[in-house]
Structures are given as structure tokens and as C-alpha cells.
Chains A and B, each alone.
With several copies, the nearest count.
Chain A
């Protein structure tokens, strides 16, 4: 299936994510893989009560669109959808939802994981954590950078 036959949809929103509704919005396909990232209530040592997610209006959407289109070009997909939340997000709430549909599960798993790894290192979002000790910007992680590097084409 060419990238043109793949439904690519991205979104950035302040409203809480509704994973059930998002799952229903996916087309029926042989294999459907979804990813939900939730705010963890701890990070490194500190207890996290909430996050503030900053983004770059315009560039963030372009970046998500480019990542989803790259996935659609690299794997045989029917759909690739990404919705990212911004603004204040409480611990336990979802930050990001990714849904990928394909005829074969290998394509769906690879594309979904690729999208998350690319998003973590390329999409302009910045997390600030709020805990009992005040607020701190989250540092980028070496493990995210090395995970993303696995997908580099020769």
C-alpha cells in the first residue's frame, strides 16, 4: 500500500484525550496497534503531581504530520493517527495517543514504535514537572535519542 492510501491524522489539543473515542475513529484493519503515554507520578527521584506541556504552534503540528507521513512511507499502513495533549496535565492523565492500522501486525507494531521514538526526539514539546518541591524542566534523555537512532535508514 502506498503512503497515499494511508489515512494520516494528527492533532494537538488542550482538552483531555479520549482514547476510547480515538480507537473507534480508526478504520478496521487486520492489525491495530495503539500507544498511550500517561503522566507518571514519579520521574527520577521527584514526585510529580502535574506536567505543563509547552509546544510551538505550527511547527509542532508540521512535525507530527511529517513523522506520521514518514511512517506511512516506510511501512504498509491503512492509518496513522497521533494526538498530543498540551497545557496542564495531571498525573495519571494521557499525554499522547498513537493509533496505527495495517494489514499485517509487523508493520503496525514497527510504525507505532517508530512514531513514538521520533516524536520523543523531534517534535517540539517541552515538559515542565510540578511536584512538592516546585517546578523543573524535564531534561532530554539519552535513551530516547538512542531509541530514535535505531530507525535511521542506511
Chain B
């Protein structure tokens, strides 16, 4: 299993804040997971095409090549605007 989280504007665009996905060997990195999610059609494809989105794997900021394994928590979110 993979736990996938979405925050802020992205959460609203998707109408989804969390998703449990069955992990598959081909979902082996952040880019692969993002591509799988984009295949869910709209609004997923357009929302996930945003180049500014940030990804985190197990609560640490990740890049496209960061590996993903079963049991991981993966999050996608817009640039942060706290403080």
C-alpha cells in the first residue's frame, strides 16, 4: 500500500485529501507515481501537470527520482506560504 496526501490548492482541485493506492513494482519513484495519478483523467491530469508542485516522501521533500516503496507516505502540494 501507498498512502498519498494532497494539500491546499491541489487538495481542492482534486477534491481529494488522501488516497490509499495498491503499490506496484512499476510505481518505483515519485515521477512514476505522479504519472499513474495523472492517468485518472481530469481534474488529476491538469492539476498534477503543475511544474511548481512539491513532493515529499515519508515527510521529507523529494524530487522526481526519489524512490518509493510499499508502505511509504507520499505527499504532493503547492509551494509553501507560511509565516
Contact = CB atoms under 8 A, between A and B. Distances in A.
Interface of A: 37, 53-56, 58-59, 62, 84, 95-96, 116, 119-128, 137-141
Given A59-B59, A140-B80, A126 B9 contact: yes
Given A124-B82, A126-B8, 19 more contacts: A37-B83, A53-B82, A54-B7, A54-B11, A55-B82, A56-B5, A56-B75, A56-B77, A59-B75, A62-B60, A123-B83, A124-B56, A124-B77, A124-B80, A126-B9, A126-B81, A126-B82, A128-B8, A139-B81
Given A59-B56, A59-B75, A124-B7, A140 B81 contact: yes
A120 B82 contact: yes
Contact of A125 (B9, B52, B81): B81
Nearest to A116: B83
Contact of B59 (A37, A58, A125, A141): A58
Given A56-B75, A59-B59, A126 B7 contact: yes
Given A124-B77, A126-B78, A119 B8 contact: no
Contacts of A123: 80, 82-83
Interface in B1-48: 5, 7-9, 11
Contacts of B60: 59, 62
12 contacts: A55-B82, A56-B7, A56-B59, A58-B59, A84-B82, A120-B81, A124-B77, A125-B81, A126-B8, A126-B77, A139-B79, A140-B80
